[in-house]
């Protein structure tokens, strides 16, 4: 499992760093992205992050499972909940990402 931690406040530079880390993963399998306190520098940075993740959707789709760690009450449902889920606690994310289902 690969875990990427973002430094808060999250800036465009931090988003670019995350994207580069994802693109450098040679054997995509399990990915956990920790957004920490989910403190984006601005709404524009949040939109930039969503856009950049969307731009590498084909790369992300090669992972078997992806867990996003955020703080409550953030909740987002994925179209493929067996492949992508959002969590508030790392232990729950690890349980799900390492499970066989």
Going from the C-alpha of 48 to that of each of 21, 65, 79, the distances in angstroms are: 17, 23, 21
pLDDT in tens, 69-96: 988 765 565 566 678 888 889 999 999 9
Q: Supply the mean pLDDT for the chain.
A: 90
Please state the domain count of the chain: 1
Residues lower than pLDDT 50 in the chain: none
> What pLDDT shows up at residue 84?
84
Classified as helix, coil or strand, 94 is helix
Residue numbers of the domain that contains 59: 2-98
Query: In terms of pTM, does the model score above 0.75?
Result: yes
- CB contact at 8 A, 55 and 49: no
- Look up residue 69 and give its two tokens: 């760690």
């Amino acid at each position: 499992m690969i875990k990427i931690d973002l430094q808060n406040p999250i800036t465009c530079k931090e988003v670019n760093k995350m994207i580069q880390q994802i693109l450098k993963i040679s054997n995509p399998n399990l990915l956990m992205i920790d957004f920490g306190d989910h403190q984006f520098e601005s709404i524009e940075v949040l939109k930039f992050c969503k856009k950049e993740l969307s731009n590498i959707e084909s790369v992300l789709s090669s992972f078997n499972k992806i867990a996003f760690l955020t703080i409550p009450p953030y909740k987002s449902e994925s179209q493929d909940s067996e492949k992508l889920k959002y969590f508030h606690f790392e232990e729950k994310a690890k349980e799900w990402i390492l499970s066989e289902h």
